[in-house]
Amino acid sequence: MEQQLPEVKNYISGKFTKNGHKIMDVICPSDGKVISTVPMSTMKDLDDAVKSAKEAFPLWSGIPIKERVQVFYRYKTLLEKNLKELAELTHIENGKTMDESIAEVEKSIELTEFACSLPQLVGGEILEVSSGVECRIEYKPVGVVASIAPFNFPHMVPHWTIPNAIALGNCMILKPSEQVPISANRIAEMLKEAGLPDGVFNIVNGDREIVEAICDHPGISAVSFVGSTKVAKIVYKRATSNLKRCLALGGAKNHLIVLPDAHPEMTANNVAASMSGCAGQRCMAASAMVGVGEIDIIVDKICNEAKKIVPGENLGSVISKEAKERIERYITEAENAGAKVLVDGRKTSVKGKEDGFYVGPTVIDFVTPEMAIAKEEVFGPVLAIIRAKDIDEALKIENSSEYGNAASVFTQSGGAARYIMEKASAGMIGVNIGVPVPREPFSFGGWNESKFGVCDITGKSSIEFWTLQKKTTTKWNPESKSNWMS
C-alpha cells in the first residue's frame, strides 16, 4: 500500500473533531504498512458525543418513522453509488479480498434496505379491550444507544445496528474496532449527505478504556457489542450492572457435520469456501468438521478445493502478525498432538507483500475433541476434521462446544438433516449450507456463549432491542361502563 489515508477522527455533532490526544497506528494487514492513525478518545470526547446525541434525540425521535426512513432510502443510494470506493477501504483496512469487500458492502445495502421497511413492521397494535376502552401499543426509541464493533467486518457489522437503531428513533454512538476504524468515518460522511441531522450519529474511537466508559456512562441507555466471547462477557456484565440493556455477541466454533451420503462436490465446495472465506475470520466460518463414518472421498475433495485457494489472490490476509502467529500455533500444536496436516498454510508468503499477514488454507484431519484446535476459536482459514462413528457421536461433539453460533449438516437424507437441525445446540443452522447466515427479514444471533442478552442483532428481532413499548389505554365516551380494570 503506497497510499497514506487521512487520519481517523472522532465524529461528534455532525463534525469531525480535531485529534489532540493519544493516537495509534492503523496497519494494512496485507502488506504490514501503516496507513493511518486512530485517536484514543477521552472521557471528554465520550461526554461530548453523549451530549450531542442527547440534544438531537427529541427532534429525531419526534419525527414520524415514515419520514425518518427517507434518510435511509437516500443513504442506500449513496452506498450503491460509492460501492467500489467503500469496498476498497474495507479491502485496505481489513485485508480481505476485493470480492469479499464488495460482498460486505452489498450486505450493508441489504441491511439498510431492511431498515427502510421498518414502518411496515412497527405499526403497533390496537384493540377495544372493554366497551369504549382501547389499548394500544407503540414502539418508542430507547434513547442514546451505543454500538461497539469488531475488526472482521468494518463495514457490515456497524450496519447491523446503525440503520435499524436510528430509523427506530434512537441516537447512536459508534465505537469501531481500533484495528479497522477507517470505514466508519466514511459512513458518517454519507449519513450526513443523506440528510441525517447532526448529533443523531456520532463516533468515538479507542479500545478497552473507551468501551468501559461507554458501559459506565449514565447518558447511554443501551449497548450493543459484537466481538470475542471474552470481551462480550465483560461488556454484558458491566453494561447490565449499570442497568443498561445490553446485547453482546461473542465468538464462535461452528461445526459442520458431514454424513457419508453428502453430495461430494457440493459439500467439498461449500466446506472449503466456508472455512477460508474472509481468511476464516467470520464468526460463521466452518472451523470444525465432524465427519461421520466413511467420508475419505469427501475429505480428498475438500483438500483439492483448498489447494485452489491462493493467498493474495482469492484469499486475503489475517488481521495482524499476532493473529498469524496464533493460528499457526494452533496448527502446530494439533500436529504435535497427533493430528494429520493434509493441506498446510503455515509459512505462507505472498510475492510483493512479504510483510503481509497471510496464512494459507489449512486442512487437518484426525483432530480429537479434546485438542485445543477442536474446542477454541482459531479465527483463521483452518479446518479441523474430527471423525465420529455415528450421528449421535457427532452431535455430542457439537453439543459439547461452549459456543453456539452456527452448525450445519451435509447430507442427502431429509430425516438425518431434520434430526440434526433439532438436536444441534446453535442459533443458526444450515442444511447443505456452509455459512448459514439468515438474510433479512430473518434475524442474526447465536446461542450459548456466542450471545449474551435477549433479542437478535438484525432483522425483526432487533426491533425489540432498540425500542420500548408504550401501552396506552383510552376512553372518550362518558357512557362507556366502568369496571375495576378501566
Q: Of the candidates 27, 21, 1, 5, which has an alpha carbon nearest to the alpha carbon of residue 319?
A: 27
Select from 340, 357, 339 the least CA-distant residue to 348. Answer: 357
Q: Are strands 362-367 and 222-226 parallel, antiparallel or unpaired?
A: unpaired
If one asks whether residue 252 binds ligand NAD (CB under 6 A), the answer comes out as yes
Residue 228 binds to ligand NAD (criterion: CB under 6 A): yes
Closer residue to ligand NAD in complex, CB, 76/451 = 451
Instruction: Report whether 401 contacts 368 (CB < 8 A).
Output: no
449 binds ligand NAD (CB under 6 A): no
Residue nearest to ligand NAD (CB): 227
Beta strand 382-388 pairing with 406-410? unpaired
Helix (H) / strand (E) containing 331 = helix 321-336
**Per CB under 6 A, 440 contacts ligand NAD:** no
Contact flags string 262-301 toward ligand NAD, x per CB under 6 A: ---------------------x------------------
**Contact between residue 202 and residue 128 where contact means Cβ atoms under 8 Å apart:** no
Q: What's the number of CA atoms in the CB half-sphere (13 Å) around residue 386?
A: 27
As measured in angstroms, the least distance from the Cβ of 223 to ligand NAD is: 11
Contact of 225 with 148, CB cutoff 8 Å: yes
Query: Does residue 205 touch ligand NAD according to CB under 6 A?
Result: no
Tell me the per-residue interface mask from 110 to 149 with ligand NAD, x by CB under 6 A, - otherwise.
--------------------------------------xx
- Please choose, from the candidates 208, 82, 215, the residue with its C-alpha nearest in 3D space to the C-alpha of residue 155: 82
- Cell triple for residue 73? 432510502
User: Binding of ligand NAD at residue 152 (CB under 6 A)?
Assistant: yes
Phi and psi dihedrals of 9, rounded to 5? -130, 160
Which of 250, 316, 404, 430: binder of ligand NAD (CB under 6 A)? Answer: 250
Q: Rounded to whole angstroms, how far apart are CA atoms 271 and 148?
A: 30
If you search the block for the grid coordinates 453428502, which residue do you land on? 262
Least spacing, CB of residue 27 vs ligand NAD, in Å? 14
Judged by CB under 6 A, the residue of 379, 410, 452, 466 near ligand NAD is: 379
**Cell numbers that stand for 86 in this block:** 467503500
Residues annotated as catalytic are: 283
What does the alpha-carbon distance between residue 226 and residue 219 come to, in Å, rounded to a whole number?
Answer: 21
Among 169, 199, 251, 380, contact with ligand NAD (rule: CB under 6 A): 251
What's the closest the beta carbon of residue 29 comes to ligand NAD, in angstroms? 12
Provide the grid cell at 293. Answer: 463414518
Q: Considering the rule CB under 6 A, would residue 208 count as an interface residue with ligand NAD? A: yes
In this complex, which beta carbon is closest to ligand NAD, that of residue 216 or of residue 464? Answer: 216
Q: Of residues 181, 380, 446, 459, which one binds ligand NAD by CB under 6 A?
A: 446
405 lies in the site for ligand NAD, by CB under 6 A: yes
Task: Summarize as ranges the residues that interact with ligand NAD (CB under 6 A).
Answer: 148-152, 157, 175, 177-178, 207-208, 211-212, 226-228, 231, 234, 249-252, 283, 377, 379, 405, 446, 450
